[in-house]
Chains A and B, each alone.
Chain A
Amino acid sequence: MIELKDIEKYYASKGVKSYILRHVSTTIKQGEFVSIMGPSGAGKSTLLNILGMLEEPTYGSYSFMGEDVTTLNERKRIELYRNHIGFVFQAYHLIDEMTVEENIEAPLLYKKVPGAERRSRVADILDRFNMVAKKDLFPNQLSGGQQQLVGIARALVAQPSIILADEPTGNLQSAQALQIMELFKKLNEEEGITIIQVTHSEVNAAYGSRILHLLDGVIKEDVNL
């Protein structure tokens, strides 16, 4: 489903190139649960952002479901992205001005899903995440774990084929973190959603099926669990 070939990313400042990623090539198949690990500054988040089409690689080719992302125009890319990718952030990044329900509904609006279906899908997800009672609350009225649940619900509601999570448990206490990871595992196993997460924690990585170790922008190790 994902094929990266010789991905390079660097920033040039005052003529000096500082490399973030070097010669990254890998393939991720449908249904995998991949954890990207490595020390700070290894390029984990950049790799994830490139996978999520939020950033463009300097060189290299990236094909997503058979389409070459680097050559697509912005509209097509957004289209592809809307339909297949769900993002989960470390800092949740919910929109403060929207209620829980509206936050979850937002991606569907951008996908132009008709009203009735939208409502049923949002209701469905709220139900699944046990958040029906909280649907009219604003993000700042929720705990961190609950906010992250909303973040995941928002990523899931558009029925993506892949979820990209950037340290999803980084801001959470361990009990809440465990709950989130269990959820990811369940989604991966029961619904076959591909999950790629960036994490520092060995414990979290153990939930996945494969670990990519990144060091100074280079894949040092690719371990299948």
Chain B
Amino acid sequence: MFKLNFKIALRNLWKNKGFTLINAGGLAIGLASCMILLLYVAYEWEYDKQFTDYDNTYIIYKNDPVSDQVYTNAWTPGVMAAEIREKISGVKYASRSTYPSNMLITYKNDSYKKQAVHTEPSFLKILDYKFLKGDPNTALQSINSVVLTESLAKTLFGDSDPIGKELKLDNKEPLRVEGVISDVPENSSIQFDYLMSWTLFEKTNPWVKNTDWGSNFCLTMLQLKSNKYFDQANSQMKELVGRNDSDTGVEAFMHPLSKWHLYNDFENGKLVGGSIDQLKIFALLAGCILLIACINFMNLSTARSEKRAREVGVRKAIGSSRSSLIGQFMLESVLLSLMGMIVAFMLMEISLPYFNNLLNLELVLAYRDWKFWGMLVALTLFAGLIAGSYPAFYLSSFEPVKVLKGFSARGGSSLPVRKILVVFQFVFAACLIVCTSVIYQQLDFIKRKPIGYDKGNLIQLTAHGTLKDQKKLPLLKTLLIKSGAASHVSNFSTDISSGGNNTTGIAWPGKNPKNDILFNTRGTGYDFVKTIGTEMVSGRAFSARFKDSTNVIVNEAAVKAMGLKDPIGTVLEWGDDRHTIIGVMKDFVVESAYRDVAPMLFYPDYLDDISVILVRINPSQNITSSVAKIDEIVKQFNPAYPIERTFVNDAFETKFDDEKLLGTLANWFGGFAVFISCLGLLGLALYMAEQRKKEISIRKVLGASTYNILTLLNKDFIKLVAIANLIAFPLAYIIINKWLSGYEFRIQISILPFAIAIALSLIIAILTVSVQSVKVAKANPVDALKYE
């Protein structure tokens, strides 16, 4: 029975090649889209879950109350881990580590800047990285111990055995390789190339030893013996900081490692979500696309029902039960979805590299993972059964006598269902079109928003080695400007496109003692204003002609926040020191382009380290040759270190990564959704044309022109798409409004996206339907009538 059914199903599919192609193709695109999205969702979902005991591992976060706000972050004091081991119950391991930072590692004459983390041996117990060489129990215990990742070991030593080899950190500290671990998984929050001991960190940074509870520079992690201790441990954690450092009001808490990546947005000390929100959107998108593809499948299958009706009648007349007919149609549907899945596979393999490139990810099809296959089989069966259910139950319900006598008036009852399905598809498609255009508008708006300085043709060099030396810096500056490659050169204490140090410890005349303001603090070199291309609103910039060691500059936002009427000359108290404001700089964006610029205070660089050198490329020169020249000069100047150079423009672009990702995905998958919906429409058009063949022929005999017929046929579809748009608009408005409300700077939702949606969907729909209706309208009426 099954064999025969199977054979017949294949013959049926083969006989209707066009239909099979449209149907399997639509399903394939739907399945592939769904799978790729799910792959991405799974990738994000699996973040930090590679470790054996990730389930009872926690990251220590703390809530810092500042004026009436609470700031939540995972920067913790260095003394915390030891205290946790002693005072918190149920703790198996606790570790402190630095956050990964780029450090120079040297083997013989080869130097590389790689991500380094200083930590304790217990770190390796909590996060059980796979040791390829060496012993995880003894690694990181001695001061010079270093553990490399596989790829760094390969870069440094090629194929020779790394264990015991001597390396150098920053050309000073000797290191000894004690272990090699396999590379840190891409979807792991802590990304590093090598691990070093905490004692070495204390040696190279002597201040670390003397830090207390007020100084936050560590990542603290703990692992519980079992999760039943969680409540107790977490409540003990709450009081931990207060007991040691009573007047700050800081409360520490435990945040699960598994939620670190996705649930990372805290507002006033409460978890409010994070990337999980975006992930949910993608999961929803995946489901909807699959649903659309299934609906399509149903539509196309039932559209052919007239042709199959007679077969159903005959089968029933020779004794088939309804269930065996349902079985037959289900089998066909599953078979088709299987074909769709195979095509989907090919589509995925072809498109994955492109998507990886687009999303900056390393998604792969995990052929060896049973979960992957399980998912695949589940999706195929789901799609096949869902898609096959309506045709199966609908077709098998035909009464044999009626269909054998001639199947006619049945269309009336089935059409509304099909119309509703098409409307549903187009609601989804129109929603996506609206949302995508608003996302792009918003992105464009933010990108065009003036950021306060000229980020084009501005280079940022990481200051390391000799570049850090303040005494030698003027020489470099002169060299660069003399070469003609640069017009201005300055330096800054933090990467100009990212956040950095801040403080609430600033007082000004007339300050309300309860009203703390968080100031970003940055050290700048001379010519900073000219180099980045901003301007002074009043006063002057730092200059070599003056003695500026106790002077500061503030930005406009700071003046506003402090409420100063005449800021120049005002004396600020910062800790124990007093600083005079000599100038007000125009606001510029360093952190989020979506928020108002925060108050900022600039001080002359010699109070602090230099971390970047900013170079304004000479606009009258060719950029490529200028950059090459700059590289050459910097290399000569600082031969021991590799050149680390970024264009500020590029660095700034990364701020929009999330939105770009959303936009790109919405665009692509919106496109797919529209395409699949069109296939569904085509199916409906095929059906309608079939049904109305006779009517159209009679109309033509009575004298209707091709144009008359086309309007007649297209009118119905236009109505459907218009209805779909009307339903979609309020829906899309609500969704996109919610999304936009997350941004401080946002566009007003205009009529444009809606106009785009309705125009686009109508044009596409008319084109799709016309493919079929033109054929019918042009057909010779005699052909249709002579069989009557």
Contacts and interface: CB of A to CB of B under 8 A. Distances in A.
B317 A54 contact: yes
Given A54-B401, A82-B319, A89-B404, A94 B314 contact: yes
Contact of B4 (A52, A87, A105): A105
A93 B404 CA distance: 8
A98 B321 contact: no
A102 B4 contact: yes
Interface string B310-336: 110111011111001000000000000
Query: Which of A82, A89, A109, A154 has the largest number of chain B CB atoms within 10 A?
Result: A109
Contacts of B315: 95, 106
Contacts of A155: 318
Nearest to B405: A45
A181 B400 CA distance: 26
A97 B12 contact: yes
B122 to A, nearest CB: 68
B15 interface: yes
A97 B6 CA distance: 12
A146 B113 CA distance: 85
A158 B319 CA distance: 10
A100 to B, nearest CB: 14
B8 interface: yes
Contact of B400 (A54, A95, A106, A107): A54
Contacts of B15: 97
B324 A97 contact: no
A154 B319 contact: no
A59 B320 CA distance: 26
B319 A110 contact: yes
Interface in A137-158: 154-155, 158
Interface string A153-189: 0110010000000000000000000000000000000
A55 interface: yes
B11 interface: yes
Contacts of B8: 95, 97-98, 102
Nearest to A105: B4
Contacts of B310: 93
B324 to A, nearest CB: 7
Given A96-B311, A102-B4, A87 B401 contact: no
B313 A93 contact: yes
Contacts of A102: 4, 7-8
Nearest to B308: A97
A107 B15 CA distance: 24
A10 to B, nearest CB: 15
A81 interface: yes
Which of under 10, 10 to 19, 20 to 34, or 35 or more describes the interface residues of B?
A: 20 to 34
Interface in A75-132: 75, 78, 81-82, 87, 89, 91, 93-98, 102, 105-107, 109-111
B27 to A, nearest CB: 22
A49 interface: yes
A98 B1 CA distance: 13
Interface string B280-304: 0000000000000000000000000
Contacts of A87: 317-318
A78 B311 contact: no
B54 to A, nearest CB: 54
Nearest to A75: B321
A75 to B, nearest CB: 8
A5 B311 CA distance: 33
Contact of B320 (A75, A110, A158): A110
Given A97-B8, A97-B11, A97-B12, A107 B404 contact: no
Contacts of B399: 54
B315 to A, nearest CB: 7
Query: Which of A110, A154, A158 has the largest number of chain B CB atoms within 10 A?
Result: A110
Contacts of B401: 49, 54-55
A46 to B, nearest CB: 9
Nearest to B324: A110
A95 B315 CA distance: 8
A173 B11 CA distance: 31
Interface string B392-430: 000000011100100000000000000000000000000
B311 A97 contact: yes
Nearest to A157: B318
Given A105-B4, A109-B1, A95 B404 contact: no
B318 A106 contact: yes
Interface in A7-61: 49, 52, 54-55
Nearest to B15: A97
Nearest to A110: B319
Contacts of A95: 8, 311, 314-315
Query: Which of B1, B317, B318 has the largest number of chain A CB atoms within 10 A?
Result: B318
Contact of A107 (B4, B7, B319): B319
B318 A110 contact: yes
Nearest to B314: A93
Interface string B168-179: 000000000000
A87 B319 CA distance: 10
Contacts of A96: 311
A78 B314 contact: no
Nearest to B313: A93
A23 to B, nearest CB: 22
A96 B315 CA distance: 12
A89 B405 CA distance: 11
A55 B403 CA distance: 12
Contacts of B314: 93-95
Contacts of B319: 78, 81-82, 107, 110-111, 158
A49 to B, nearest CB: 5
B321 A78 contact: yes
Query: Which of A75, A87, A93 has the largest number of chain B CB atoms within 10 A?
Result: A93
Contacts of A97: 8, 11-12, 15, 311
Nearest to B323: A75
A154 B318 CA distance: 8
Contacts of B311: 95-97
A81 B15 CA distance: 32
Contacts of A105: 4
Given A55-B401, A98-B8, A110-B324, A93 B317 contact: yes
Contacts of A81: 319
Contacts of B317: 52, 54, 87, 89, 93
Contacts of B318: 87, 106-107, 110, 154-155
A14 to B, nearest CB: 15
A87 B314 CA distance: 10
A109 B4 contact: yes
A178 to B, nearest CB: 26
Interface of B: 1, 4, 7-8, 11-12, 15, 310-311, 313-315, 317-321, 324, 399-401, 404
12 contacts: A54-B400, A54-B401, A94-B314, A96-B311, A97-B15, A102-B7, A106-B315, A107-B318, A109-B1, A110-B320, A111-B319, A154-B318
The 5 nearest A-B residue pairs measured at CB: A82-B319, A110-B319, A93-B314, A107-B318, A54-B401
Given A91-B404, A95-B314, A110-B319, 12 more contacts: A52-B317, A54-B401, A82-B319, A89-B317, A93-B317, A94-B314, A97-B11, A97-B311, A106-B315, A107-B319, A110-B318, A110-B324
